[in-house]
Structure 1
Amino acid sequence: MRVLVVNAGSSSLRLRLLGPDDTVERTADIGPHDIAATLADWPAPDAVGHRVVHGGTQFTEPVVVDARVRAALADLTELAPLHQPKSLAGLDTVSALLDVPAVACFDTAFHTTIPAAAATYAIPREWRERYAIRRYGFHGLSHAYCSARVGELLGRSDARVITCHLGAGASVAAVVGGRSVDTTMGFTPLEGLVMATRSGSVDPGLVLWLAERMPVDELTKALEERSGLLGLAGTADLREADAAAVEVYIHRLVQGIASMAASAGGLDALAFTGGVGENSATVRARAAERLGFLGVAVSSPLNAAGAEEITGASSVRVFVVPAREDLEIARGTRSALAMLGGT
């Protein structure tokens, strides 16, 4: 089955066509208005897999999109107002162009296995129930692929794996036996690590204090778009950030990894993925140095070369895994259609 993978971002859209054996036949990073012109020259797919950021509590697996599902996805927009509309726009545009099944694959779905103790905020019960407030977690498609790949490299399915998705957005997940048991992002993608322009976790009292001194929309925009590395160093590019900003970034990353190791009950493997995770030997080395107490060490030559395994003299194996959300989406698309007898 040939699968067209549609990954809608905040300002661009990535299309990738995967053949039946998952070879990449076509790929393009385009603007949302260039979809029709791009697809006009591509081979026709048998199905389309869409990355959808939020699946709420009802979508825990990839699902074939029909009118009912489409309406339910729209209802979730208030939980992800920055991301869900982009996903839905991509879904609608491609569905209007191609008369093939569409499958929604969710970033939140992988984390629905997180136990209640890790998913629950200590806030009034009526808030949690009325507004479906819980720690959802994000980047699930990336964490799912990365942890599965590490399991293959380890040759075991019961490993305790910490996956670090480090890009413009960043999160760490604890995966035990292929199931997510905790992650650093929560109700929104703002919680957790320092990111390119997002603040990561801040004292909620600080947010309340600031909300008394500025409009809420201004505060929201600042935390989403003018914080993180940009707020610390005046640049969202880690390679250009000053030493003090990088130190804050590393501190939060190490803190996140250590907390995920505690949630996993130990650590067998640590994996780095995403643009920063794959390309910054410095981030990997500095994180490993701080995590020596957990048995983590990297080989300097292997780390500098960006090898797939960069384990040093350590009890924990360390890997660099290229991010392939497209493969995870294609897998989910084929699985959802197979359950309906579509293959």
Structure 2
Amino acid sequence: MKNILIINSGSSSLKFQLIQMPSEKVLASGMVERIGLDNSRLHYKAQDQLTEELEIRDHSEALKVITDHLRHPQTGVIKQKEEIAAVGHRVVHGGDVFSETIRINEQVKEKIQEYFSLAPLHNPANLKGIEVSEKLFPAAEQIAVFDTSFHRSIPRKAAQYAIPNELYEKNHIQLYGFHGTSHKFVSKKAIERFNKENSKIISIHLGNGCSITAIKDGKSLDHSLGFAPVNGLIMGTRSGDIDQSVIFYLIDELGYTSQEVSDLLHKESGMYGLTGYSDLRDIEEKAAAGDKKCQLALDMNAYRIKKYIGAYIAAMNGADALVFTAGIGENSDVIRSLVCKDMDFFGIELDEEKNKNRDKKLREIQTGDSRVKIFVIPTNEELEIAQQSFELIS
């Protein structure tokens, strides 16, 4: 048995799970949120569950607080830090260099830093989590699992952009894809449910970041996010697909700098730009109360997803299942209903009563007449990272 600590480091949050492998037993889990902000909060669950409000200035302090709880006489599950065999890190962008899970060394960290500009909301925080855990757990192996790895199977006809070839061949500008750890995990669960390898699955990951993937026979065939995680679906603060001419207009006619445009598309757009809210729960509540901007934003969000579903059904010549996952995908019956409405031509028919079920387990929510299964599958990126980390060190 080996204990593997999984770290998912965000810009102002740090999620963790301590998982015993290969039994897949979760010894402890939780997160620190609002790092560096007022009212930082620790959520910790082992034998019992607790929440503490603390002043946590940075990721180093956050991980130290977590480590102290893991070893605490009352709340802890280990006695020494050396009982942790490996620390598995989620890293968003691995470019075209990393196609597999890898042990972290100085060269790996340098490459992660090279991709800061491609994933500015993620890679800097991911690297910070790695550097902090190296100091706190010097005896543990540090493992990187890249969100982009799962999408390396996407064929060149789907991955290359229609710009001069040398930009692909020399500068490696192409579709990389993201949320791969989540899409891989839920598609494996769906395939297990089918009990067959030959399958056509459309996996829809909806959280603050959103993406959709066409998965054929367990391999990524196409994906909505591309060179960096900002295009495709409408997200919490990210724009998703936009006419490139808008960028030139913002710079040439309205006087924006390139950095201001980047900030606008990454941090000020999406559902936040449309409504003033980035949390979908607030938007749904306002829409239900008659807010037309919020209702329009929900309609736009679902419409974009529907367009990608149609495209991926064409790409795979059919679909056996839709999979909704991640925070919004698992919990918003409103979005699922809007997405699946008027999709009966494709054999997609939602059972509205099943859709309202709040069960946290894998469930099917299609009608008996639906030719396409509609799954809600809770994602578990941490378990997927633990499985890949354990395979590497075993």
TM-score with structure 1 setting the length = 0.95
- Greater RCO structure (CA 8 Å; 6+ sep): 1
Spell out the pairing of 1:188-267 with structure 2 (5 A cutoff): 188-212=228-252, 213=254, 214-241=256-283, 242-267=294-319
CA distance in structure 2 between the partners assigned to 1:70 and 1:234 by the alignment: 36
CA deviation after TM superposition for structure 1 residue 40, in Å = 2.6
2:16 match: secondary structure: strand
CA distance in structure 2 between the partners assigned to 1:237 and 1:76 by the alignment: 27
Name the stretch that deviates more: 114-123 or 232-241.
Answer: 232-241
- Give 2:366's aligned residue: 311
2:28 is matched with which residue: 26, 31, 49? 26
1:74 match: secondary structure: helix
CA deviation after TM superposition for structure 1 residue 277, in Å = 0.4
CA distance in structure 1 between the partners assigned to 2:358 and 2:308 by the alignment: 23
CA deviation after TM superposition for structure 1 residue 74, in Å = 2.5
2:379 is matched with which residue: 300, 309, 323? 323
Spell out the pairing of 1:27-46 with structure 2 (5 A cutoff): 27-30=29-32, 31=35, 32=59, 33-42=61-70, 43=78, 44-46=83-85
CA distance in structure 2 between the partners assigned to 1:322 and 1:276 by the alignment: 10
CA distance in structure 2 between the partners assigned to 1:232 and 1:304 by the alignment: 26
> Residues 198-227 of structure 1, C-alpha deviation per residue, up to 9 Å, x if partnerless?
110000011111121211211111111111
Letter in 1 for 2:12: S
Spell out the pairing of 1:264-283 with structure 2 (5 A cutoff): 264-283=316-335
1:137 match: secondary structure: coil
Confirm whether residue 53 of structure 1 aligns to residue 95 of structure 2. no
Letter in 2 for 1:327: L
Spell out the pairing of 1:287-306 with structure 2 (5 A cutoff): 287-306=339-358
Are the equivalent residues in 1 in contact too, given 2:147–2:181 (CA < 8 A)? yes
> Residues 289-342 of structure 1, C-alpha deviation per residue, up to 9 Å, x if partnerless?
2322211112222111145111212111110011100011011101222xxxxx
- Give 1:340's aligned residue: none
Name the stretch that deviates more: 211-220 or 37-46.
Answer: 37-46
CA deviation after TM superposition for structure 1 residue 264, in Å = 2.1
Report the number of matched residues: 338
Confirm whether residue 332 of structure 1 aligns to residue 374 of structure 2. no
CA distance in structure 2 between the partners assigned to 1:103 and 1:73 by the alignment: 13
Letter in 1 for 2:147: D
Are the equivalent residues in 1 in contact too, given 2:14–2:62 (CA < 8 A)? no
Letter in 1 for 2:262: T
- CA RMSD in angstroms comes to 1.4
CA deviation after TM superposition for structure 1 residue 10, in Å = 1.9
Are the equivalent residues in 2 in contact too, given 1:310–1:318 (CA < 8 A)? yes
CA deviation after TM superposition for structure 1 residue 234, in Å = 1.8
> Residues 91-140 of structure 1, C-alpha deviation per residue, up to 9 Å, x if partnerless?
01101111111110000000010000100101112222332100111110
Name the stretch that deviates more: 153-162 or 25-34.
Answer: 25-34
CA deviation after TM superposition for structure 1 residue 57, in Å = 0.8
Name the stretch that deviates more: 155-164 or 74-83.
Answer: 74-83
1:123 match: secondary structure: coil
TM-score with structure 2 setting the length = 0.83
Which consecutive aligned stretches of 4+ in structure 1 deviate over 3 angstroms post-superposition? none
Confirm whether residue 182 of structure 1 aligns to residue 219 of structure 2. no
1:311 match: secondary structure: coil
1:29 match: secondary structure: strand
CA deviation after TM superposition for structure 1 residue 90, in Å = 0.3
CA distance in structure 1 between the partners assigned to 2:313 and 2:122 by the alignment: 29
CA distance in structure 1 between the partners assigned to 2:318 and 2:262 by the alignment: 36
Name the stretch that deviates more: 59-68 or 185-194.
Answer: 59-68
More helix by share: 1
Are the equivalent residues in 2 in contact too, given 1:306–1:320 (CA < 8 A)? no
Question: Unaligned 5+ residue runs, structure 2?
Answer: 36-58, 71-77, 284-293
Structure with greater Cα Rg: 2
CA deviation after TM superposition for structure 1 residue 23, in Å = 2.0
Letter in 2 for 1:266: G
Letter in 1 for 2:311: S
1:19 match: secondary structure: strand
CA deviation after TM superposition for structure 1 residue 259, in Å = 1.3
2:115 match: secondary structure: helix
- Give 2:134's aligned residue: 95
Are the equivalent residues in 1 in contact too, given 2:187–2:203 (CA < 8 A)? yes
Are the equivalent residues in 1 in contact too, given 2:299–2:338 (CA < 8 A)? no
Are the equivalent residues in 2 in contact too, given 1:163–1:173 (CA < 8 A)? yes
CA distance in structure 1 between the partners assigned to 2:129 and 2:374 by the alignment: 36
CA distance in structure 2 between the partners assigned to 1:209 and 1:127 by the alignment: 23
CA deviation after TM superposition for structure 1 residue 284, in Å = 1.1
